[in-house]
Structure 1
């Protein structure tokens, strides 16, 4: 069995790698190629390109990379023509993966979406693309499985693979103990993309400094995704350009690039594990915060125009996936953003702030409460533990692998891939 994977984000790379490992455990003859990152390569996939190095956000940046992605599209098309994989498996990353799906369908290849894009949150019209180009969706969230099925997309709910991945992680427990010793720890998670770090550095810095002023002895540990993000964070937050330290310093004891702030690279799981509480940008990391049962504040700073845009397109109350899971999913007529003064504020397990204003005082208030009041922190931890237990996601990657293998077998028994009719190349760009 030959499978083609396409994953563009670091989290998608991890999910794809986990799925491939489980598939190969079921059948050692499974081969794989495609687009992904280092984890997918380690799992045995022959990469045509490392897409995790080229993640883009917003239309302006995506437009600048159009030629690059069009060339990748043509490479995928050539691979489908010459190698005829048994199935194409997409993981999130919808902008480029729509292109891959279209190329695959032109050659009659079955296309599956694993960890589908969250179009239910902001771009519901794109369900038309799911119906047109995706043969089967393997949903990670119970409410999204229902949503896709109700809109004519064949869907199987398998659970989210994040808990399996985190349970399998080999933690450096000695490092965790060193960080945790000596008083409370605030772990800051500024994101894995350059744009996220740039947009959120100021608000995260102001919030954490408020916490440091209010809680004597608290230490700020920053989990930078790459070394350049540490320098980028300091430059954006303070206006200073610090010299980069050696890689080993970031990975071992960390680098104190700001007074009271220590920056690390490649230590995100350990820093979350060692934290008393966390301050994070919005993203898939919220699932890891849930898994580790860490009280956390979620932030996402955008400009006024982007705030106006999200008000027009957002179709869910929360930007944090864990809050959606805690507060009943998608069926909510109240789409007003989280407000700590709202009567229903306590329904969100992670206080979240999508804003263009300075909300650092509100954000810091939650963190200071958890750090100063052990009972308040214990209540937050209990809520997270209860939600984690309710989700029961252990074994999701194995369930997904079995479901994917069965779907591939069904398609192999009913149809054979065909070349495009009349020599069509399908090299045009996708439209809505």
Structure 2
């Protein structure tokens, strides 16, 4: 009787947000390049699916913000967790690759560890900002944690977490023509297009957009009345409906396109600030959430800024307006100071972005993450009996 060929190893990639979907897809392609017979499963968005990952849930099922919304959707998350844990068994998943998104991913890491599976956490939860107790969970349940910000490793290692800095995945993205043109332009040299685009980035979650977009849009209208050469473009992730943006009165496009076309930006906090910095787009950051979430977060957060650019630069490079301080008048006035090519604030910010770019490491992040994944899979095959102990 002819024996059936043994299936390739199974990897589960868990990405709960648009950025994780993008970065996970890059890693999935690198893993498959090295292991053509690998079986990839996961939760995430269209990019993971396009990279050959069999999804069991999409971003629309995972996108939440704030404590009250999380509580409302907890039953659905628990059902999803049980489905994933069942798939771990039926598909004999040997490696879990969680990407940020700690609410669900830390629970999945706990389950995977208890089942004797490898866990490679990519893009560490921001325990340096709040809830440092999560670091102990990372130490307990992860074989390794791959960090993308230079200051994260030393903070996590204080808790015994095995870490490695792999550089930031944004460095793998090709520089846009618009960004290259901005880099080449000498002070005082105007772009050939007489109109300038201001990008509005209100977030990748529906609740973020509801909180931020009305303020961002009003700031844009105020600037439009004072500057006739400005156009405004709103970044809309594909998993959010167009109807959510109808009241703003401005066209929408994907975040990548908006970034490439922007002369300056008004944005929420998060990874998007690093994307804009790497593209050479000066920005102002605004953030607002529900009153309860803000009150809780203000007690927990222990960092001087919520803007990643400022944390990497170790300086207040980008102005930020939080909660009640986020008004259309304030952010419009701050943005106005970044519009002129000779504006001191604009030139100083662009110089600081060069420092940020240097501190984020070298390109090739996805390949380095895939190398760690393949190494752990190989260790699994060599000594499956030792999976319960982090390596």
Tell me the TM-score normalized by structure 2: 0.86
Equivalent of 1:167 in 150, 171, 174: 174
Given that 2:176 and 2:260 are in contact with CA atoms closer than 8 Å, whether structure 1 keeps it comes out as: no
Task: State the 1:142 CA deviation.
Answer: 1.7
- In the aligned structure 1, how far is the partner of 2:294 from the partner of 2:93? 42
Given that 1:319 and 1:354 are in contact with CA atoms closer than 8 Å, whether structure 2 keeps it comes out as: no
Equivalent of 1:124 in 132, 147, 152: 132
The corresponding residue for 2:6 is none
Task: State the 1:191 CA deviation.
Answer: 1.3
1:227-278 deviation per Cα after TM superposition (whole angstroms, max 9, x unaligned): 965543454x6xxxxxxxxxxxxxxxxxxxx3xxx31233x22221121101
Stretches of structure 1 that go unaligned for 5 or more consecutive residues are 174-178, 238-257, 328-346, 420-432
Task: State the 1:49 CA deviation.
Answer: 1.9
Given that 1:185 and 1:219 are in contact with CA atoms closer than 8 Å, whether structure 2 keeps it comes out as: yes
- In the aligned structure 2, how far is the partner of 1:228 from the partner of 1:9? 12
The corresponding residue for 2:216 is 204
Task: State the 1:314 CA deviation.
Answer: 0.3
Is structure 2 residue 358 aligned with structure 1 residue 408?
no
The corresponding residue for 2:203 is 191
Given that 1:33 and 1:45 are in contact with CA atoms closer than 8 Å, whether structure 2 keeps it comes out as: yes
- In the aligned structure 2, how far is the partner of 1:105 from the partner of 1:136? 12
- In the aligned structure 2, how far is the partner of 1:229 from the partner of 1:82? 35
The corresponding residue for 1:379 is 348
Given that 2:265 and 2:284 are in contact with CA atoms closer than 8 Å, whether structure 1 keeps it comes out as: yes
Is structure 2 residue 365 aligned with structure 1 residue 396?
yes
Structure 2 counterparts to residues 6-405 of structure 1, below 5 A: 6-164=14-172, 166-167=173-174, 181-226=193-238, 230-235=242-247, 258=249, 262-266=250-254, 268-327=255-314, 347-372=315-340, 374-376=342-344, 377-405=346-374
Question: Match of 1:167, SS?
Answer: coil
Question: Match of 1:33, SS?
Answer: strand
Question: Match of 1:32, SS?
Answer: strand
Question: Match of 2:120, SS?
Answer: strand
1:159-187 deviation per Cα after TM superposition (whole angstroms, max 9, x unaligned): 111221x228899x9xxxxx983322211
- In the aligned structure 2, how far is the partner of 1:156 from the partner of 1:390? 15
- In the aligned structure 1, how far is the partner of 2:385 from the partner of 2:13? 19
Alignment CA distance shift 1:169-1:276 (3 Å)? closer
Task: State the 1:147 CA deviation.
Answer: 1.2
How many residues of Structure 1 are paired with residues of Structure 2 in the alignment?
368
- In the aligned structure 2, how far is the partner of 1:222 from the partner of 1:206? 13
Task: State the 1:413 CA deviation.
Answer: 2.0
Alignment CA distance shift 1:112-1:96 (3 Å)? same
Given that 2:310 and 2:316 are in contact with CA atoms closer than 8 Å, whether structure 1 keeps it comes out as: yes
Stretches of structure 2 that go unaligned for 5 or more consecutive residues are 1-8, 181-190
Task: State the 1:226 CA deviation.
Answer: 4.5
Given that 1:215 and 1:368 are in contact with CA atoms closer than 8 Å, whether structure 2 keeps it comes out as: no
Given that 1:282 and 1:298 are in contact with CA atoms closer than 8 Å, whether structure 2 keeps it comes out as: yes
- In the aligned structure 2, how far is the partner of 1:283 from the partner of 1:410? 35
The answer to which of 48-57 and 141-150 deviates more is: 48-57
Task: State the 1:359 CA deviation.
Answer: 3.4
- Over aligned residues, Cα RMSD in angstroms? 2.6
- In the aligned structure 2, how far is the partner of 1:348 from the partner of 1:72? 40
The corresponding residue for 1:423 is none
Task: State the 1:22 CA deviation.
Answer: 1.2
Moved over 4 A (4+): 168-171, 226-230, 416-419
